[in-house]
Amino acid sequence: NALHYFKMMTFTPSKEEFKDFSRYIAYMESQGAHKAGMAKVIPPKGWKPRQTYDDIDDLVIPAPIQQVVTGQSGLFTQYNIQKKPMTVHEFRKTSNMDKFCSPRYVDFDELERKFWKNLTFNPPLYGADVSGTLYDSVSSNGLDSVTYISSLCSNRPFHFMLTYSSISSNLFCS
């Protein structure tokens, strides 16, 4: 049994394609994007990220997941521990703790090396499987709201990274 590695695909939907995002996700999967477990989506010109997230502190993440990896010498096992429900406010407070913050890095290659090196010591916490959207309505960005991928693809885990035009505005969605 050979291990297969799939490259993360990048997509640049038009405004029209972006309006029906669930249909676009189906297209992405038809192209094999789900095989890597993650895809990058670059929004069309005219889309703007949400102005503020101040109004979501009471939103409940029903089943935060802590991803635990154990192993050595190239043989690793990953399992998920479902945590008790928490609000976005609690999740934000937890994720800003030193042990969950991103380490200092020079470039993304260094960050990736540090991620894999520390994965067995410090299990990441994910706020997954939240139905709905965290994006502003059509009136504020000119496009339909983008919904969480987990509510669209419930039959398998699949995440996308929605990247806005500037590096400092990257939005990671799961």
Whether residues 144 and 123 share a domain: the answer is: no
Instruction: Give the residues across from 62 on adjacent strands.
Output: none
Whether residues 75 and 116 share a domain: the answer is: yes
Residues 15 and 142: their CA atoms lie apart, in Å, by 9
∠ CA 23-127-111, nearest 5°, is 95
Cβ neighbours of 149 (radius 10 Å): 24
Whether residues 73 and 89 share a domain: the answer is: yes
Stronger pLDDT, 58 or 142, i.e. the higher one: 58
Whether residues 104 and 72 share a domain: the answer is: yes
Residues 146 and 10: their CA atoms lie apart, in Å, by 17
> What's the pLDDT score for residue 131?
66
Whether residues 111 and 157 share a domain: the answer is: no
Q: What's the mean per-residue pLDDT of the chain?
A: 74
> What's the pLDDT score for residue 136?
58
Whether residues 93 and 115 share a domain: the answer is: yes
> Which residues form the domain of 75?
60-129
Between 49-58, 75-84, 133-142, 153-162, the lowest mean confidence (pLDDT) is in 153-162
Q: How many domains does the chain divide into?
A: 2
Question: Which one-letter DSSP state was computed for residue 44?
Answer: P
Collapsed DSSP state (helix, strand, coil) of residue 69: strand
**Helix or strand run (H / E) with residue 41:** strand 38-41
Whether residues 102 and 118 share a domain: the answer is: yes
Whether residues 40 and 4 share a domain: the answer is: yes
> What's the pLDDT score for residue 28?
92
Task: State pLDDT tens for residues 120-140.
Answer: 888 888 887 676 666 555 444
Whether residues 49 and 93 share a domain: the answer is: no
Whether residues 124 and 144 share a domain: the answer is: no
Whether residues 22 and 52 share a domain: the answer is: yes
Residues 149 and 131: their CA atoms lie apart, in Å, by 9
The single residue listed with the structure tokens 């590695």 is 5
Whether residues 107 and 73 share a domain: the answer is: yes
Residue 53 has pLDDT above 50, yes or no: yes
